[in-house]
Amino acid sequence: MAEANYTYFLEFLLLGLSQDPELQPLLFGLFLSMYLVTVLGNLLIILAVSSDSHLHTPMYFFLSNLSFVDICFVSTTIPKMLMNIQAQRKCIAYVECLTQAYFSNNFAGIDDFLLTVMAYDRFVAICYPLKYTVIMNPRFCGILVLLCWFSMFWISLIQILLMKHLTFSTVTEIPHFFCELAQILKAANSGALINTIFLYVATALLGVLPVTGILYSYSQIISSLLRMSSAASRYKAFSTCGSHLCVVSLFYGTAIGVYLSSAVTHSSRASMIASVLYTVVTPMLNPFIYSLRNKDMMGALGRMMSSLMVETITYFHNICTPKGNLEFNV
């Protein structure tokens, strides 16, 4: 009992990207900028989808959910790193570390599932266009999103609960900028075999099943496109998949890079740099990819910004206009 209580007062040391004091201000400014761009960009996507009736379709419903998850994803890691840099400390409490590991793993998995659901949405839209509105009805779309959240809730929870029996040293160093599950398991003194097996099984399932679903969807899409007689129709149909393909390539490319760098080089620094691409750069670039490659999204963002500017000008005009003049004019 005493050992269990003691565990909750453990503190881990997050070594971060660099221990050079001269680089800390640069890292703080860089990651603060990336965090703000990520939050603002994804928030604009959510606002544009919710405010424009033209975007009330399954594709943009899934996109707004992806943007929300990306905001949550970066918010589990970057703020803590910025706080540690600002306070010039590297400590993170045991419970806080497990909480961060749970949510970062949870949101990464939901990202993974949502990309698969979005591929299925494009598959139905191109291969079964006449049945699209019937199959991808609002109730079914809501169920798909809830399944993404529900599945990762339990997978992440089991991973964290299995870690309760692990023991750690009084001073445990984690060579990373956040509490990644694999790094925590490496830092454990003993008893991490079951956790490691479950981690690899879960990672394999979360990698193989979604990738298989995406590959199957796009194989059917390509097959359907080849049967189209008009080149213009093929281009128009496939152009709706362009943004999703870019995001999928970026997401899985950086994710595979994390594991390859860890397995091949055995260098914590190489793995950490790859993790930056996976956890920070990818969520930041997603809004740009979907905005710049999508005319409907660009139009919605333009209309939203124009409306916001008109409302702002009207608001300040009403404030600056004297009431006496208004009454006199009336």
Task: Please write the tens of the pLDDT for every residue from 191-200.
Answer: 678 888 888 8
Q: Which two tokens stand for residue 251?
A: 């997401």
265-296, pLDDT tens digit by residue?
A: 555 666 677 778 778 888 888 888 877 666 76
Q: Which two tokens stand for residue 36?
A: 């703000």
- CA dist 320 and 318 (Å) reads 6
The amino acid at residue 203 is T
| N-to-C CA span, the chain | 79
Q: Which two tokens stand for residue 125?
A: 């839209």
Give the pLDDT confidence score for residue 66 in this predicted structure.
Answer: 93
Contact status, residue 118 vs residue 62, Cβ threshold 8 Å: yes
The answer to pTM > 0.75 is yes
Listing DSSP states for 145-207 in one string gives HHHHHHHHHHHHHHHHHHGGG-B--SEEEESSSS--HHHHHHH-SB--HHHHHHHHHHHHHHH
Residue 231's SS3 state is helix
Q: What does the chain come to in residues?
A: 330
Q: Which two tokens stand for residue 193?
A: 């075999």
For residue 313, pLDDT over 70 is answered with yes
